[in-house]
Structure 1
Amino acid sequence: MSTIHLHGLTVYQQQRCLLDPLDLGLHPGEALTVLGESGSGKSLLAHAIMGTLPAGLRAEGELRTDGRRYPLHDAANRRHLWGELLAILPQEPVTALDPTMRVLPQVAEGWRGDGHLARDAARRRLDSLGLQAAEHHYPHQLSGGMAQRVAFAAATLGGARLLLADEPSKGLDSAACDTLRRLLQQHLDSGQCLLTITHDIALARALGGQVLVMQGGEVVEHGPASRILSRPAHPYTQALLAAEPQAWPAIAHPAAGDWLLQGRGLAKAYGSQQLFRDVDIDLAAGERVALLAASGAGKSTLGNMLLGLTRADHGSVRYRDGLPRTAWQKLYQDPVQAFAPRVPLHTALHDVLKRCGQPWSALEALLHRLKLGPALLQRLPSQVSGGELQRLALIRTLLLRPALLFADEPTSRLDPLTQRDTVHCLLDELGRIGCALLLVTHDAALADKATARRIRL
């Protein structure tokens, strides 16, 4: 297979350059992993290659392979290459999956050979990802980690020469991450090209090959993974590697106050799949608790049950009297699902300020603390990065001054530096308003730093 070359690739919003011009060679059998801060243009790189940039953005430059040239400003000239040359695993798998189709036929659509073999190939791929029981599910019946694996199966079944994997390990437990690494390595071993966009430094180390580090739409370091991930030259890369949760200093947590809620004998099943049973859980004002389990074990379902968003098959939840309905808040694992897609962010946040009687300065202070420019609020949710939208969702929730925040993988789209700053901001704000935290995460080091108590399903 031949190398895929990208020349002068850049992305503009009107006359504003969002991604500085860059030249890349994607070599068969060699990984290229892109690291960098949230909102630095990593996902724009992938969508510029595919021709799937959001409305209002345009790409310039050229893709060259097999003696052919594809100008990137023409988003339609690569459509016929989808599945055969190009495939993308998007950052938001829930929005990429068809909500009206079951998992098995949806994955089978990626097969490029004999249609009679498509279901068998799809079933084998799902089995390899531990999704045997999910082939008849609809996307809304999947956990975030399961949806990520289903999207991976659909993107890779056709054997495209270049796989663009945008945050493929997001929302996966350690066992599922190990499976993902093996599958990505198999893709490389078969002589295909791989461009992975990730905040997962462990994944970048495992894939090896080349690493490209981005900051503010600019490439600040590019070279062999073995060198950059052990002896980084640029100060930003050095700071990025030093910001992993296990390197954080210890965090002091407040003492628990009066009880907030009590769950007794909670159980939930979907069809023949029993998620959990006989779960007792108590949460008190101001305490910080981590909820840990494998992907698909029911962490999000249990949290939703405690908030009254999901009905328990058995058991009950008792709440402390005297608290308003807005006292119980959730940060969704997929922040794009938490915003109306056609409502500008400015309007969405202004409506919350009106509802809770907070001044505009309260929003400005949180934007500054989380390093988000006010200009982002003029955009639609689809026009900001996943990491930016995740922080905006956090701001919107904090403005409501809740008594309990159920945070479902609240930093899954953030680079290590931004994650560290965001978690410290979150804990500071929760301490200031006396809010309890129920944190769902697959990151044991993050759970150890951010919470004082852990519950395992």
Structure 2
Amino acid sequence: MTCSIDVSDLSVFAGQTRLMGPVSFRIAPGDTLVIMGETGAGKSLIAQAILGTLPGALRAEGRISINGRRVDGLGPADRAALWGHEIATLPQEPWRALDPLMQSFRQVAEAHRFVAGKAPAEARRASADAFAALDLTGAEQRLPGALSGGMAQRVAFAAATAGHAPILMADEPTKGLDAERHGKVVALLAQVPEAGGTLLAITHEVAVARRLGGDIIVLRDGSLVEQGATETVLAAPRHGYTRSLLDADPRNWPDTEPAATGDWVLKARGIAIERGGKRLIDGFDLTLLAGERLALVGPSGIGKTTLLDALAGLLNPARGEVQRSPNLSRHGVQKLYQDPPAAFPHRVPLDTSLRDVARLHNTSWGDVLSMLGQLGIDPALLARRPDEVSGGELQRISIARALTARPGVLLADEPTSRLDPVTQRETLALLASIAGSQGIAVVLVTHDRDIARKWASRTVALS
């Protein structure tokens, strides 16, 4: 039987530095391959190398065949001709894949029409069915920038699968989704091999890997550390790192010590928030104390990100008011964005972005490097642009950048959604330690109620 994907001795390099590999694997029609591993280990690089979309500064070596045809030597146009027809991808950053100026429904309908070759009316019907199946009813006319992270993820899923390509590569397909929609998306992914297609799924969630089954490869520091049947590897891992991934499930975290709190730093009174003419939140009250760790939970699309924008002063509430303590500086409220690539200038090296922030806030470069070191970021990465580092690396760099401003309030929108379980636990523990020592109040938006329960001293649920 011809393999859908056949990869032999694949490595990815930046100059002469090997970032990932070598790895080899085969996936047949009807099979699944799950890729797990630490943040920055090269999981997404494998998908990009297969698709032919590696950043210009990187190069791949090794053999890659798709449906029996070797593709690693093909030119960009020939590689692009495969997209949507033979192989489709659900990228880690949905906002990068969606046209920011096109309404969501139209983007999915165009995929049905021009990739799947359906007539206009049939394309519209298929898109409506997809929006209903993915709980996106009401989001049809919204631009991607008006969607929550979870909604954007589902719109990208609908567009990626419209062409019914026999191979689907899904890069962190469940990040930013609440429990109900998380389960629905995983069930849709599982239908791909059940229908005879081929699924390559990149995830840091052990539960997702278990549900999808098939085979698994585990990466650490760019190297393959374990490979085999998913059920076998997760039931009896041979490598210590694989065992640590299982142990780092938030349900197994120790309870954090209650934070020492001080005077109030932020107050919200009777807040009502609207977006696109729709009332999302009404009558919201909050008093946030210095040093407090508060978790904000609720379904995808309920308005958590919009509420953070109101607390940060980035939008005016329809009713009510937000008060800042007079002790807060002008830059005393900082926001960590759910989509880190959108928060960095795309063409500017990360080093330049961080040095500009450090200069603006009179923070020494040594302190910035120290913070990056605590977050596990190699300073050599700062020579790259935002699209040349992993999503998890950029997420941690964004945390360091926000803390460089010495905030009194940190509004953190899913700040660890792109991190593997081990790095997630370490990063949130560090954030709690820094917040406690510096008296920073942190509002953490998360879909994971286990994280909220273990990390925060108080939880506010939106419904």
**1:48 positional shift:** 0.5
**1:420 positional shift:** 1.1
**1:314 positional shift:** 1.2
Match of 2:314 in 1: 309
SS at match of 1:110: helix
Deviations 1:125-154 (A, max 9, x none): 111000011011111110011001101111
Deviations 1:407-441 (A, max 9, x none): 00000010011111111111111112110010000
Tell me the distance in 2 between the aligned counterparts of 1:196 and 1:66: 18
Which amino acid is the alignment partner of residue 224 of structure 1? A
Q: Does 1:446 align with 2:447?
A: no
Indicate conservation of the 8 Å contact 2:11/2:19, yes or no. Answer: yes
Indicate conservation of the 8 Å contact 1:164/1:194, yes or no. Answer: yes
Tell me the distance in 1 between the aligned counterparts of 2:426 and 2:67: 45
Match of 1:82 in 2: 83
Indicate conservation of the 8 Å contact 1:2/1:65, yes or no. Answer: no
SS at match of 2:135: coil
Which segments of 5 or more consecutive residues in structure 1 lack a partner in the other structure? none
Q: Does 1:114 align with 2:118?
A: yes
Tell me the distance in 2 between the aligned counterparts of 1:316 and 1:446: 29
Indicate conservation of the 8 Å contact 1:110/1:154, yes or no. Answer: yes
Tell me the distance in 2 between the aligned counterparts of 1:226 and 1:75: 37
**1:2 positional shift:** 4.2
Residue 266 (structure 1) aligned to one of 262, 268, 271: 271
**1:67 positional shift:** 4.0
Residue 338 (structure 1) aligned to one of 340, 343, 364: 343
Match of 2:226 in 1: 221
Tell me the distance in 2 between the aligned counterparts of 1:271 and 1:364: 41
Tell me the distance in 2 between the aligned counterparts of 1:388 and 1:442: 21
Indicate conservation of the 8 Å contact 1:290/1:451, yes or no. Answer: yes
Indicate conservation of the 8 Å contact 1:408/1:441, yes or no. Answer: yes
Which amino acid is the alignment partner of residue 365 of structure 1? S
> In the superposition, relative to structure 1, how do residues 2 and 157 fare at CA in structure 2: closer, same or farther (>3 Å)?
farther
Q: Does 1:231 align with 2:236?
A: yes
**1:6 positional shift:** 1.8
Match of 1:391 in 2: 396
Match of 2:3 in 1: 3
Q: Does 1:418 align with 2:423?
A: yes
**1:34 positional shift:** 0.4
Match of 1:69 in 2: 70
Match of 2:299 in 1: 294
**1:275 positional shift:** 1.1
Match of 1:35 in 2: 36
**1:72 positional shift:** 4.8
Indicate conservation of the 8 Å contact 1:59/1:73, yes or no. Answer: no
> In the superposition, relative to structure 1, how do residues 274 and 233 fare at CA in structure 2: closer, same or farther (>3 Å)?
same
Which segments of 5 or more consecutive residues in structure 2 lack a partner in the other structure? none
Q: Does 1:160 align with 2:165?
A: yes
> In the superposition, relative to structure 1, how do residues 31 and 382 fare at CA in structure 2: closer, same or farther (>3 Å)?
same
Tell me the distance in 1 between the aligned counterparts of 2:74 and 2:42: 17
Match of 2:55 in 1: 54
- Mapping of 1:247-262 within 5 angstroms? 247-262=252-267
Residue 186 (structure 2) aligned to one of 181, 188, 191: 181
Which amino acid is the alignment partner of residue 415 of structure 1? D
**1:22 positional shift:** 2.0
Which amino acid is the alignment partner of residue 242 of structure 2? T
Tell me the distance in 1 between the aligned counterparts of 2:435 and 2:197: 47
> In the superposition, relative to structure 1, how do residues 322 and 65 fare at CA in structure 2: closer, same or farther (>3 Å)?
closer
SS at match of 1:133: coil
Tell me the distance in 1 between the aligned counterparts of 2:277 and 2:441: 34
Tell me the distance in 2 between the aligned counterparts of 1:135 and 1:274: 17
> In the superposition, relative to structure 1, how do residues 126 and 323 fare at CA in structure 2: closer, same or farther (>3 Å)?
same
SS at match of 2:111: coil
> In the superposition, relative to structure 1, how do residues 57 and 316 fare at CA in structure 2: closer, same or farther (>3 Å)?
same
Which amino acid is the alignment partner of residue 8 of structure 2? H
SS at match of 1:132: coil
Deviations 1:246-287 (A, max 9, x none): 111121122321111221111122345321111111111111
Match of 2:372 in 1: 367
Indicate conservation of the 8 Å contact 1:59/1:72, yes or no. Answer: no
Which amino acid is the alignment partner of residue 70 of structure 2? R
> In the superposition, relative to structure 1, how do residues 293 and 313 fare at CA in structure 2: closer, same or farther (>3 Å)?
same
Which amino acid is the alignment partner of residue 185 of structure 1? A
Tell me the distance in 1 between the aligned counterparts of 2:202 and 2:437: 35
Deviations 1:210-229 (A, max 9, x none): 11100111111011111111
**1:322 positional shift:** 3.4
Tell me the distance in 1 between the aligned counterparts of 2:23 and 2:259: 48
Q: TM-score, normalised by structure 1?
A: 0.97
Deviations 1:353-408 (A, max 9, x none): 21222222211211221111110111111111000000000011112111110000
Match of 2:284 in 1: 279
Q: CA RMSD in A?
A: 1.4
Indicate conservation of the 8 Å contact 1:352/1:399, yes or no. Answer: yes
Tell me the distance in 2 between the aligned counterparts of 1:66 and 1:51: 15
Which amino acid is the alignment partner of residue 261 of structure 1? L
Indicate conservation of the 8 Å contact 2:260/2:436, yes or no. Answer: no
Tell me the distance in 1 between the aligned counterparts of 2:303 and 2:446: 12
Deviations 1:319-350 (A, max 9, x none): 21132111000000011111111111111111
Tell me the distance in 2 between the aligned counterparts of 1:357 and 1:66: 56
**1:303 positional shift:** 1.1
Tell me the distance in 1 between the aligned counterparts of 2:17 and 2:67: 32
Match of 1:21 in 2: 22
Tell me the distance in 2 between the aligned counterparts of 1:435 and 1:65: 51
